[in-house]
Structure 1
Amino acid sequence: MDLPVWAFHGDRDDVVAPEGSFAMARAIRACGGPKVRLTIYPDLGHNAWDPAYDDPALYAWLLEQKLPSATITNKDKK
């Protein structure tokens, strides 16, 4: 299953190095995950959640995500 991921990171984060988010995105893509997004906020430390939650695009993106539709057969209905 392709699980969408959108990660957010401050480029001046001194708690978790931004390279961790870059490495995660690369690893997801290397495993065939096409739905990975990474936003790096310039001049921001560890608090990437405030600008992420302030961005209406995040909520639009969340609402766009859907589970794949399953095909139900007669055998499944038992």
Structure 2
Amino acid sequence: MSLGTGIVLFVIGAILAFAVHVQVAWVSLTVVGYILMVAGAVGIILGIVLITTRRRQTVVQHDYVDPASGERVRRSTTDRPGDPYV
């Protein structure tokens, strides 16, 4: 669930909980609104956590011996989990 989806769920839940005054016999729209607001808040929190963890970088260094020259070679790779452009 993304940050935008959480915000949309929260807004729809708030509208159902506080602005709609329609009585339906088989469901309470106020309770449905509160449930959507809780789900939206969880989605917002998860979206923020996912955004902050994407910015972490992992640097891995490997030492190799070049078979042709016998020289020691150090390779460094940077990995950004969740970043589609790397």
Please report the TM-score for the alignment, with normalisation by the length of structure 1: 0.30
Larger Rg: 2
Higher relative contact order (CA 8 A, sep 6+): 1
